[in-house]
A = this chain, B = another copy of it.
């Protein structure tokens, strides 16, 4: 399946009052190469394996395949992942017909908050909440696969 997503920095924590869902995410990478990402994720009590292809030229669209796996399987597979686990709180906020997924990073990426919105087409319009900052779609340094190796707190 092709996934179309735009990503933004978040400038305040006001989104937390609007969230209808919150869960902890821990994830690692069996491959962090952006041409063939293989991600193992524990989201709350659920496990997932996800494969992502290379983003297109604008960085908005990429192939994504995902399967749910058991929590025990995800825990075993996380042990095999490259060094550098991503740990974050995931908030979900309704925004008109869309949902923002907002990641408040923890650990070595603490201080970084990023919002993603999934769209049906690259140019689909959506409402911009007051807490939405600069767009970072396609900026490799904000990829989770990069944050696992080059965490936010080591930038600059």
Contact = CB atoms under 8 A, between A and B. Distances in A.
Interface in A9-43: 30-31, 35-36, 38
Contact of A67 (B30, B35, B67, B79): B67
Q: What is the oligomeric copy number? A: 2
Nearest to A67: B67
Interface of A: 30-31, 35-36, 38, 49, 51, 53-54, 63, 65, 67, 69, 73, 76-77, 79-82
B76 A36 contact: no
Given A63-B76, A65-B76, A77-B65, A82 B36 contact: yes
Q: Is the interface of A mostly helix, strand, loop or mixed?
A: strand
Contact of A31 (B31, B53, B67, B69): B31
Nearest to A73: B65
A51 B30 contact: yes
Given A36-B80, A51-B80, A65-B73, 7 more contacts: A30-B38, A31-B36, A36-B81, A36-B82, A51-B77, A54-B80, A65-B76
23 contacts: A30-B30, A30-B31, A30-B36, A30-B51, A31-B31, A31-B38, A35-B80, A36-B80, A36-B81, A36-B82, A49-B49, A49-B67, A51-B77, A51-B80, A53-B79, A53-B80, A54-B80, A63-B80, A65-B73, A65-B76, A65-B77, A67-B67, A67-B69
